[in-house]
Chains A and B, each alone.
Chain A
C-alpha cells in the first residue's frame, strides 16, 4: 500500500500540488498534520494534480477540498487535474457539500456567581410549579374519590384487589426479611451500649419503642416507595408513551378513576397491614437476638415489652401508614402522568418519583413527630 503524500512543485507560472497514494480515513491524521504544516501561497495559479491518488474516501476527499478552500481563500486560482474517472463521483459529492465548517461543540455555561444565583432561582421556581401542579393532581384525585362515595358502583373492585395483591401480598417476603434483620441489628447494637450500664434489659424497651413507633412504618414505607411507587410511575408512564391514556379518554373513561384510584386506595389499605407485619417481624428479630446475645428468654422479653409499651406506641406507628401510602401512590401516579412521549423520560421520572416520595414520607414523618409531641402521645 502506497502511503499518502504530496509534493508541491513550481511549473512555469502555476504551482502544482501533487497528491499521491491512498487518501483514506486511515491515513487522514498523518495527511492532516502535514497539510496543516504546509505554507500556502497566495494570489497564484494552483493546480491540484490527483494523478497519483490511488484510493480515496470521504475523509481524503475532504482534505483535498479543505486545501482547495484554503487556497481559494488566499486568492489563488485553483483547478483540479488528472482526476481518475473512478474517483470523480466521490469528489463531486464532497465538492458540492464541502463548504461545511464544523460548529464548535456547545460550551457549558460558565460557573459565575450570577449564574449560580440564577440557577437557585430557576430551581426554586421549578419547585413551586411542581408543588402547584401536584396539589392540583391531589385535588383531582380527591374529587374522583368523592365522586366514588356518591357512586360506589364505579369503584373497580377487581383492579383494586389486584393492586392490593401486587403491592401488599407480593411485598411480604422482602418487607418481612428486612424488618427481621433490622430488629436483629438494633437489638445487637442496643445491647452492646446498654450492657455498659448493666441495663441490658432496657434493650427490649429500646427495641419496642423504636420499631413500633418509627422503624417499622418508615422502613416499610421506604421499601414500598422503591418497589411500588416506582412501578406506578413506570406503568402509567409506559401507558402514556403508548398513547393508552389518550385512548382511555377518547373511550369516555376517566384515567384517574381507572388507574389512580385503585392504586391509591389499594396502597392505603395494604400499607397499614404491612406495617403490622413488619412490626411483628422486627420484634421477632430483636427477640431472637436478645435471647442469643443477652440470654433474655422469650417470656422475660414479652413481659418487659409489655411494661415498656402502651397501646398508643403501636397505634402511633400504624396511624401514619395510610398517609405515607397516599403520598407514595399519589407521587408515583403523578409522575407517571408527567411522562413525555419518550422512553427515556419513563426512566428519569421513575427515579424522580422514588426520590420524591421517600423525601415526602420522611418530611411527613417529622411532621407527625411534632404533632404527637404536642399531643403528648
Chain B
C-alpha cells in the first residue's frame, strides 16, 4: 500500500530498549498512518506498554528515532514538547484519573492548563466529553473512587480527548472490563475515531478488539515487530503468531467479527461495568 509520506503521523525507526541487561526491543520499525487504528499485540513482557510509552516520550530508548507528527521526540525542547502534547491524548491502563478531583475536574485539567477560557464554557465542554464517552451526566460530579472500572476507563478517555487530539494512545483499553463493557468500549473507540478523525494506537491483549476495530496490527515477537493487516498475520508462519491468532480464542473472535455486529448490539445500551 503506497501512501504519501506526509500521511504518516508516527515514525519509529530502529528503537532499542533495555532494562539493565535485559533487551526488550531490538530494533523496532513502525509507521502509523493518519486515521488508522493500529493494535499492538504481544505476549506478556514483550514490551507493548513500553513501546507505547516510548512513542509518547515517557520512556527513553537506548537508541533509535521516534518521530510524532514530524517532530523528533527524543530531542524536543520543553516548549515544543508542551505544544506537541496537545496533539495527543493518552488513556492509561486504569484511567490514571487524579483521585482528588471529580471526573469533570479531571477533564478540565488539560483545558485549564493549555487554553484560557471562561469557567462555564469549560464546564460545558467537560459535560459534552462526558456524554460523548457514554457516561451519564451525573458521573461528572463523582470522584474516581466512586466509579466502576469501566466508568473509570471512559472518564480517562474523556480526559484524553479533552483537547481534541489528533492521536489517541490506549494502553490495554479493555483489560479488566466484562465482555459486554469491553465490546461497548470497542464500539465507542470506533465511533469516536470516525467522528473525530482520530488516529488510534492501542496496546491490547483483547483479540475481540483487534478484530472489531483495528485496521492494522503490530505484533511484538522475538524483540522485533511485524506489522500488517489481520489477514496478513493469519498467514504468518511464525509459531507464536500462529498460536495467537489461530488459538481457540483467536478463532472465536474471528468468527464473531465476520458475523456482523448483531450479537453485541445490546452493548450499546449498557454503561460499561
Report A-chain residues with C-beta under 8 Å of the C-beta of B194: 89
Residues of B within 8 A of A28 (CB): 115, 117, 121, 125
Cβ proximity bits B114-138 to A, threshold 8 Å, 1 near / 0 not = 0111101101111111111000011
* Pair A103/B161 contact, Cβ less than 8 Å: no
Q: Is the CB of A57 within 8 A of B164?
A: yes
B106 to chain A, nearest CB (A): 12
Q: How far is the CB of B143 from chain A (nearest CB, A)?
A: 10
Which residues of chain B come closer than 8 Å to A150, judged between CB atoms? none
> Quick check: A103 and B163 within 8 Å, CB to CB?
no
Q: Within the complex, what minimum Cβ distance (angstroms) separates B96 from chain A?
A: 12
B115 A103 Cβ-Cβ under 8 A: no
Is B148 an interface position by the 8 A CB rule? no
Contact size range, A: 20 to 34
Q: Is A366 an interface residue (CB 8 A)?
A: no
Binary CB contact string for chain B from 96 to 119 against chain A (1 if under 8 A, 0 otherwise): 000100101100000100011110
Q: Within the complex, which residue of A59, A66, A89, A92 is in contact with B164, where a contact is CB–CB below 8 Å?
A: A59
Question: Shortest Cβ distance from B98 into chain A, in angstroms?
Answer: 11
The 8 closest A-B pairs by CB, nearest first: A93-B195, A97-B131, A102-B123, A100-B131, A29-B117, A57-B164, A102-B127, A100-B127
- How many whole Å from B94's CB to the nearest CB in chain A? 11
In the bound assembly, the distance between CA atoms of A199 and B128 in angstroms comes to: 79
Is the pair A32, B117 in contact by a Cβ cutoff of 8 Å? yes
Indicate the member of A65, A94, A102, A106 with the most B CB atoms within 10 Å.
Answer: A102
Q: Contacts A89-B195, A103-B137 known; A29 to B115 CB distance under 8 Å?
A: yes
Q: Which residues of A contact B161 (CB under 8 A)?
A: 58
- B197: interface (CB < 8 Å): yes
A128 CB → nearest B CB, Å: 26
**Interface assignment of A226: CB less than 8 Å from any CB of chain B:** no
Q: Which residues of A contact B124 (CB under 8 A)?
A: 62, 66, 100-102
Q: Which of A97, A99, A100, A106 contacts B141 (CB 8 A)?
A: A106
Asked if residues B141 and A103 are in contact (CB atoms below 8 Å), the reply is: yes
Interface SS of chain A:
helix
> Does chain B have a CB within 8 A of A254?
no
Interface centre among A29, A32, A59, A342 (most CB of B within 10 A): A59
Q: Does A194 contact B (CB under 8 A)?
A: no
The CA of A99 and the CA of B136, in the complex, are separated in Å by 12
Bound-state Cα–Cα, A17 to B124, Å: 22
Q: Which residue of A lies closest to B136 (CB)?
A: A100
Q: A62 CB to closest chain B CB, in angstroms?
A: 5
In Å, the complex CA distance between A94 and B137 comes to 14
Chain A 157-170 near chain B by CB (<8 Å), digits 1 or 0: 00000000000000
Does B149 belong to the interface (CB within 8 Å)?
Answer: no
List which A334-367 residues lie within 8 A (CB) of chain B: 342, 344
Q: Does A174 contact B (CB under 8 A)?
A: no
Asked if B196 is at the interface of the complex by the 8 Å CB criterion, the answer is yes
- Residues of B at the A interface (CB closer than 8 Å) are 99, 102, 104-105, 111, 115-118, 120-121, 123-132, 137-138, 140-141, 145, 161, 163-164, 191-192, 194-197
B132, A29: Cβ atoms under 8 Å?
Answer: no
Q: Are A105 and B141 in contact (CB under 8 A)?
A: yes
Asked whether any CB of chain B lies closer than 8 Å to the CB of A10, the reply is no
Is the pair A101, B127 in contact by a Cβ cutoff of 8 Å?
A: yes
Complex partner residue of A102 from B104, B116, B118, CB under 8 angstroms: B104
Shortest Cβ distance from residue A68 to the other chain B in the assembled complex, whole angstroms: 13
In the assembled complex, A98 has its CB within 8 A of some CB on chain B: yes
Known: A102-B124, A105-B104. A92 touches B195 (CB 8 A): yes
Contacts of A25 in B (CB 8 A): 111, 115, 125, 163-164
Once A25-B115, A32-B118, A92-B195 are accepted as A-B contacts, the answer to whether A102 and B126 lie under 8 Å apart by CB is yes
* Pairwise interchain contact A97-B132, C-beta atoms closer than 8 A: yes
Tell which of B118, B128, B163, B197 touches A100, judged by Cβ atoms closer than 8 Å: B128
Using CB atoms, name the residue of chain A closest to B117.
A29
B105-A105 in contact (CB<8A): yes
A356 to B193 alpha-carbon distance, docked (Å): 52
For the complex formed, measure the closest distance between the CB of A97 and the CB atoms of chain B, giving whole angstroms: 4
Residues on B with beta carbons closer than 8 Å to the beta carbon of A89: 194-197
**Residues of B with C-beta under 8 A to A93:** 132, 191-192, 195-196
Which of A86, A100, A342 has the most B CB atoms < 10 Å from its CB?
A100
Q: Name which of B111, B121, B129, B196 has the most chain A CB atoms within 10 A of its CB.
A: B121
A-B contact pairs, 26 of them (CB 8 A): A25-B164, A28-B115, A28-B117, A28-B121, A29-B116, A29-B118, A29-B121, A57-B196, A58-B161, A62-B125, A89-B194, A89-B196, A90-B196, A97-B132, A98-B128, A98-B131, A99-B131, A100-B124, A100-B127, A100-B130, A101-B127, A101-B137, A102-B120, A102-B126, A106-B102, A106-B141
